[in-house]
Amino acid sequence: MTGLLDIRNLDISLALPGGSLHAVKDVTLSLEKGESLGIVGESGSGKSMTALTLMRLLPRSARCKAARLSFDGQDLPALDDRTFAETIAGPRIGMIFQEPMTSLNPVYTIGRQMTEAAVARGLLSAREARRKAIDLLERVGISDPENRMSQFPHQMSGGQRQRVMIAMTLMLDPDLLIADEPTTALDVTVQAQILDLLDGLRRERQMGLILISHDLAVVAQRTDKVAVMYSGELVEQGAANQVLFAPRHDYTKKLLAAIPRLDGPPGRVVAAAPKEEEVIAARDVTRLFSSRKGLFGPRREVRALDGVSMALKRGETLALIGESGSGKSTLARILLGLDEASSGDVTMLGRSLAEIPATERARFVQPVFQDPYTSLNPRRRLAEIIARPLVLRGEGDKASRLAAVRDAMEHVRLPPRLLHAYPSQLSGGQRQRVAIARALVTRPEALICDEPTSALDVSVQAQILKLLDELRAEMGLTCLLITHDMAVVHEVADRVAVMYQGRIVEEGSAQTVLAHPDNDYTARLLAAAPRFGETAEDLKVAQ
């Protein structure tokens, strides 16, 4: 193998309202052609900052220095911005970002965004680029890829947007692919498909791969070596088998101990058995969407939900699982009153949702959305964002609201120094914690959580799940948990409902469904779930 990437003594500092933050401290990494490197660590540990350095995408307030920063023998700092943009960023180094909506233009179709760079650089003709884009969309698991080319990002689910972004990055056939949480929003079957695709391209083209992830099971299966970061420092690195199965550093051991296990005992606290009272219920709910190809094309009807019936009982945690695009988030929006069903009925405490004022609904149930970037106001500081529900409800004075905000931030492990920071100054995982803190600040009776821990590292994920369970035990908190992480379901859920193509195909106790699924689709989901303990070699043998 030939050297592809050489980073030596990298230091990055950021100017924040509360003072300077030393985000990355003396980090040294290397990567060979055809090799895969996993970078793991808590949110805010410097993983993404290290990757953004290679793309020249650090914030303007950042100050960066390194003894060496070279790619395939080229000294990157020596290149001017134009040369770097034309020859390195995109054609040779591609990056899959954690949040797809930051990379997809909301006013351009998927097809235009996927083909534009290849055509503009003269790498492919318009026809060739379109053919390649459709092929890549199909390979990343997008159904009906030809028609999807004319759709806009808002017409897709979060997981589908993530797959589009992966396909778009692969359009230019980069020599080094940086994947920052590339499968965060994806269900286990699509995650396996995407990782198989990246593995195949890496071996076929001798492409270097940097996989930044909090999913240690995925890192163990898919990388050759692992680097562990903590508080901006590289605390341990080496072969994946050595670091993850014989760790030397206490922090690495702590991360491994926090991994939820699909084959382990449930981790939830003992609480009173759920009552039979139905808190929120859906009866034969159908939701239709229509779209058309082009301005005068025929109208096409999409059935996002098809006769869904389910009930959330007081004091229980109900996990809703299924593939991206199966209708989970659409159902959640309807249950929250943020969207209307085409037919069917939704009730809250026995009352029709349409009859309940929005303020009363918000007092009872709070959402935690999948994509924190789009649910946090970029112009407000964290203190204002988290306190907003209290302000809207007219609760307390300025001092008591600030105290409640500090308490909520402490619950989700956000440091006080971020109180006056903006969302753009936080990592993806930190933004997700802000969204959870905002939902918890009013102590609601019910939460509807759409992938609430998908952007969190395992140690913070364990803390958030424990917090939700403690609130359930103390307050009888009711929770609908939408997730693709089967280990999380095993850890916290009382019941499970499985969705496929807009329908609930299986429902029952978590213990029964996860151990003895009746439906073939549920069995496939469980079979595709990564399990920590399986290595890359185990995966090759299984395949």
For the packed helices 458-475 and 428-440, what is the interaxial angle rounded to 10 degrees?
Answer: 10
Task: Kindly indicate the confidence band of residue 263, based on its pLDDT and cuts at 50, 70 and 90.
Answer: low
Q: How far apart are CA 471 and CA 55, in angstroms?
A: 42
What is the per-residue pLDDT across 232-248, written as a single tens digit (0 to 9) for each?
A: 999 999 999 999 999 99
Percent of the chain with pLDDT over 70: 93
- Nearest Cα to 535, choosing from 31, 28, 96, 36? 36
Q: Per DSSP, which regions of 296-414 are E strands? A: 299-313, 317-322, 343-348, 351-352, 365-368
How many Å is the Cα radius of gyration of the chain? 23
pLDDT score for 76 = 95
Q: Is the pTM of this model over 0.85?
A: no
- Nearest Cα to 279, choosing from 307, 308, 315? 315
- Nearest Cα to 314, choosing from 366, 275, 269? 275
With a cut of 70, say whether residue 293 has pLDDT above it. Answer: no
pLDDT score for 455 = 67
Instruction: Specify the range with the lowest mean pLDDT, choosing from 258-262, 323-327, 498-502.
Output: 258-262
Instruction: Specify the range with the lowest mean pLDDT, choosing from 72-76, 110-114, 259-263, 326-330.
Output: 259-263
Contacts of 515 (CB under 8 A, 6+ apart): none
**Mean pLDDT, all residues of the chain:** 87
With a cut of 80, say whether residue 442 has pLDDT above it. Answer: yes
Q: Which residue has the higher pLDDT, 143 or 12?
A: 12
Percent of the chain with pLDDT over 90: 50
With a cut of 50, say whether residue 542 has pLDDT above it. Answer: no
With a cut of 90, say whether residue 251 has pLDDT above it. Answer: yes
Average pLDDT over residues 328-336: 92
